[in-house]
Amino acid sequence: MDNALWAFGRMSGVVSLVLFSVAVILGILNRSGRPLFAIPRFSMTLLHRNVSLLATVFLVFHIVALMLDSYAKLNVIDVFVPFLGGFKPFWQGLGTVAFDLVLAVVATGLLRHRLGQRSFRAIHWLSYAMWPIALGHAIGNGTDGTSKWFVVLAAGSLAAVGAAVAWRLSANFLETAKARQGGLS
Amino acid sequence: MTEILHIDWTRCDGRGLCTELLPTVLVRDDWGYPLALQATNGNRSNPAISPGNIEAAREAVHLCPKLALSLVPEQAKPRQ
Amino acid sequence: MTIQEAVGPAVDTLRGSAGTYQLFAAGSNAGLAEHEQAFGPLSLAAIDAGFMSVLGESGLTGRGGAAFSSWRKVAATAQGRGAALLPAKPVVIANGAEGEPLSFKDKTLLAHAPHLVIDGLLIAGRAVSASLLYIYTTPAAMPVVEAAVAERRDARKIKVVQAPETFISGEASAVVNSIATGVALPLDNRRRLSAAGLKGRPTLVLNVETLAHVALIARHGSGWFRAAGSERDPGTRLVSISGQGAGQVLEVEGDARLCDVLSSAGVDLSTVGAVLVGGYHGRWVRDLECRLSPSGPGENVINPGAGVLHILPARDCGLEATARILDYLARASAKQCGPCMFGLPAMARVLSAIAYGDRNPRLVLELERLTKLVGGRGACHHPDGTARLVSSALEMFAEDMKAHLLGTCTRETRSAI
Ligand code: HEM
Ligand code: SF4
Ligand code: SF4
């Protein structure tokens, strides 16, 4: 039983990480204002949201499983307050920080219409901090952190998200960038 | 009762979600911003939404990444 | 372009056609004593509910450009409080920002007759039971206005606020935004200022000249006001005349003929190529017989807007003058709204290309298309005003346009705008 929980906890963590990578990439795609292949823009927005929520659900699975697990023995305080854990406090603390950030990003995302654009935007940018922290946590804390398949997965995610961020920072990122730079049309 | 889709130009960034959801009401201009196909008294910031489009308009209000859209009852029409 | 000093021209030169001479009756740089001598003291207590109907009968319209019925505006603010148990008290703002580069009549008015404006503000404040009163004006006029306010006991609650010298700073919601946050940019217009403006209170923004007329109407009644002007455009208005000789401010009757106004300013009509009526957001006019009235544009009628009359000498190229103004307007965009921020510079590029020798005939169609594209789309009327100017230039200077496309513009000089 314990072994199953342990395995489930680890796998849901990995799934959550992959989904968060996809969420970040979709967020950036969204921001560019472009549709993806035949998927219209509003569907992209919904996709970004739903993938984010799904990733969060898996993150919760990950945490609950490890709280129930007799080996990891995560307690409620460790879930919310970073760097206090008994086992690899730093790496586990990163996970806690990432979780707190996810809570903030998701909660403000769902309350966007109440909060107003400015606060939403400010908090939402924390996504960019959250993702590498979560990746660090996965590599440093995980039992699989150094196994070959995980390294390949982590490197792949890093390359994908890194490429998306680099594109985000490039001059022609916005769909309408060319027209807005003012060529005579 | 007719409703009006108010575009807050100080917020809109021309991401084009609303134009996809309301193709019979809005198209995109050269720079991506929504362009009301029909003007009311020369004003193209407050297109009227027919009953058939209300659902799509609600969706647009909900999804607009900049919170630039709102539905207003016809009587409370913004100043022009 | 003429920039007036704070003091402005001597008042003797302000007498307009038909000897109309009301707003400046107290003379140059009038202090409180001269003001009360000329107009009599203000009895605020006499302003009661009945004043609203007097204002309605007078037919006074706003002199800041939009020419909206002043009575309606005041009434909307008075009702804007709604039926709440403890309704918020309204705010009245005297708008003297005058961001239009070709307009200087408000600065002149504030320099010579600040007390008339203060009277009007106090009266409007009383009519809507306002608790906050502001005068919003340019740095140049600040000292005069502050001194005038300090001179009066009844003006103690008036706050004088400085307006930045930008084109857009006088737009009503920009005025409210500037006083509230220091940022003189227009606000989204979903909420009406008359219902929720400054600090969420019903807010009335009136041009300073409008308020000066209010002060006279309160003293002399609506019949007196209507004695000048015409049925459709009663009263007098100030105009700023520029483009030939030194800039001048005149007080003229409503519905005056453009040529009469120019003649009384000493303009030699034979040298006039066209007149820009209403300023950078106005229209080019060639028919000097037309009348200046907010009921225009129509048959022989042109809307004077905020009273700007800028003369384009016959030897100057109207396309080039318009291109230069358009360039200014594109840069004056508050860059908040996409169609304005991108559309105006695009229009400016096309018109400049035409004006400075690009002979591609498709440019004209492109300019027409862009002009249509920006209209009615923005938080304020900057795109509309700009589109109006360009449309009138396309109409008035159609011949010049043809000449340019053939590469034969024959005008000698570049205009001074
Ligand atoms: C319910 C949850 C969420 C909602 C409603 C939501 C909504 C949005 C919206 C509306 C945007 C577009 C913002 C704009 O265009 O200004 C956006 C962008 C973005 N989102 Fe989310 N989001 C959610 C969760 C997440 C999560 C959990 C992550 C990270 C793992 C994330 C990462 C991003 C990124 C990276 C961007 C691009 C931001 C930029 O570069 O400006 N989002 N999101
Ligand atoms: S969805 Fe919002 S930001 Fe995008 S174009 Fe429409 S109003 Fe503008
Ligand atoms: S329309 Fe132009 S000037 Fe007016 S608020 Fe928008 S960007 Fe500013």
ipTM computed for the complex: 0.89
C241 and C221, same structural domain?
A: no
DSSP state of C199: G
Distance CA A146, CA C213 (A): 83
Amino acid at position B43, single letter: N
A184 touches chain C (CB under 8 A): yes
The distance from CA C325 to its chain's CA centroid, rounded to whole angstroms, is 17
Q: Are residues C113 and C244 in the same domain?
A: no
In this structure, the strands spanning C291-292 and C301-302 are parallel
What are the tokens at C212?
A: 């000066």
Chains with at least 3 CB pairs less than 8 angstroms from chain C: A, B
CA distances from A182 to A173, A176, B31 (A): 15, 10, 9
Q: Which helix (H) or strand (E) holds A13?
A: helix A2-32
Core vs surface per residue A71-97: b (16+ CB within 10 A) or e? ebebeeebbeebeebeeeeebbbbbbb
Ligand nearest the Cα of residue A117 is: 1
Of C172, C205, C226, the residue at which a domain comes to its end is C226
Is A27's C-beta closer than 6 angstroms to any atom of ligand 1?
yes
Of the candidates C134, C46, C135, C128, the residue with the CA atom closest to the CA atom of residue C87: C128
Q: Which residues touch C107 (CB under 8 Å, ≥6 apart)?
A: C4, C6, C8, C96, C98, C138, C140, C141
Predicted confidence band of residue A58 (pLDDT cuts 50, 70, 90): very high
Question: Are the C-beta atoms of residues C380 and C173 closer than 8 Å to each other?
Answer: yes
My answer on whether C281 and C381 are in the same domain is no
Higher pLDDT, A75 or A169: A169
Distance (Å) of CA A113 to CA B60, C106, C117, C336? 13, 43, 43, 21
Which mutation among A124, A161, A173 tests ligand 1's pocket best, with the greatest number of atoms within 8 A of CB?
Answer: A124
Q: Residue C1: which pLDDT band, with cuts at 50, 70 and 90?
A: very low
| Domain-embedded: residue C417 | no
Mean pLDDT of A66-73: 75
The domain made up of B3-73 has a fold known as: Alpha-Beta Plaits (3.30.70)
Closest residue, chain C, to B29 (C-alpha):
C373
* Closest CB to B72 among C190, C336, C346: C190
- The 3-state secondary structure of C64-130 reads CCCCCEHHHHHHHHHHCCCCCCCCCCCEEEEEECCCCCCCCHHHHHHHHCHHHHHHHHHHHHHHCCC
C88 pLDDT band, cuts 50/70/90, is confident
How sure is the predictor about C245, in pLDDT bands with cuts at 50, 70 and 90? confident
Helical (H) or strand (E) element with B57: helix B54-63
Structure tokens that stand for C378 in this block: 């923005």
Q: Is pLDDT above 70 for C144?
A: yes
Contact C329, C280 (CB under 8 A): yes
pLDDT of residue C410: 62
Domain end (from C313, C332, C353): C313
Question: Are C339 and C394 found together in one domain?
Answer: yes
**Which ligand 2 atom lies nearest to the CA of residue B8?**
7
Residue where a domain stops, chosen among C279, C313, C347: C313
Closest ligand to C-alpha of residue C338 is 3
The residue among A182 and C43 whose pLDDT is bigger is C43
pLDDT digits (tens, 9 = 90+) for A2-33: 678 888 888 899 999 999 999 999 999 888 88
Shared domain for C66 and C87, answered yes or no, is yes
Query: Same domain, yes or no, for C125 and C195?
Result: yes
Helix (H, G, I), strand (E, B) or coil at C276: strand
Please answer yes or no on whether B78 and C187 come within 8 Å at the CB atom: no
Interior/surface letters C19-31, b for 16+ CB within 10 angstroms, e for the rest: ebebbbbbbbbbe
Do A182 and C345 make contact, defined as CB atoms within 8 angstroms? yes
3-state DSSP assignment of residue B56: helix
Question: Any chain A CB within 8 A of the CB of B58?
Answer: no
Name the token pair of C417.
């705008």
**d(CA C191, nearest CA chain B) in Å:** 6
Q: Domains of chain B: which residue ranges?
A: 3-73
Residue C17 CB partners (closer than 8 Å, separation 6+): C250, C252, C253, C256, C260, C261, C263, C264
Chain A residues within 8 A of B17 when measuring between CB atoms: 41-42, 45
* Residue of A174, A176, A184, A185 to mutate, interface with C, max C Cβ within 10 Å: A184
Q: Return the C-alpha torsion angle C80, C68, C280, C159, nearest 10.
A: -50
Q: Are C305 and C193 contained in the same domain? A: no
Please give the pLDDT value at position C417: 46
- How far, in Å, is the centroid of ligand 1 from the Cα of A46? 11
Nearest to C206 by CA among C99, C112, C108, C124: C124
Residue C307 lies in a domain: yes
The residue whose CA has the least distance to atom 3 of ligand 2 is B12
Q: How far apart are CA C208 and CA C218, in angstroms?
A: 15
Q: Which atom of ligand 3 has the smallest separation from the CA of C333?
A: 3
pLDDT digits (tens, 9 = 90+) for B17-65: 899 999 999 999 999 899 998 877 677 888 888 888 999 999 999 989 8
Count structural domains, chain C.
Answer: 3
The pLDDT tens digits for C145-163 are 999 999 998 888 899 999 9
Q: Which residue has the tokens 């993806």?
A: A36
Q: Per the domain annotation, does C12 fall within a domain?
A: no
Give me the domain span that covers residue C287.
Answer: 236-313
Please indicate, yes or no, whether residues C220 and C290 belong to a single structural domain of this protein.
no
Q: What is the CATH number of the domain that holds C265?
A: 3.10.20.600
Domain contains C80:
yes
User: Looking at the structure, do residues C185 and C246 belong to the same domain, yes or no?
Assistant: no
A105 lines ligand 1 (CB under 6 A): yes
- Weakest mean pLDDT among A75-79, A164-168, A181-185, C344-348: A181-185
- Mean pLDDT for the stretch of residues C120-135: 91
Q: Are both C137 and C206 inside the same structural domain?
A: yes
What integer pLDDT is reported at residue A108 of this predicted model?
93
B54 in contact with chain C, both atoms CB, cutoff 8 A = no
C180 and C40, same domain (yes or no) = yes
Please report which helix (H) or strand (E) contains residue B70, including its range. Answer: strand B69-73
* A101 ligand 1 Cβ < 6 A: no
Q: Nearest-CA residue of chain C relative to B40?
A: C376
Answer whether residue B80 shows pLDDT above 50.
no
| Same domain for C65 and C194 | yes
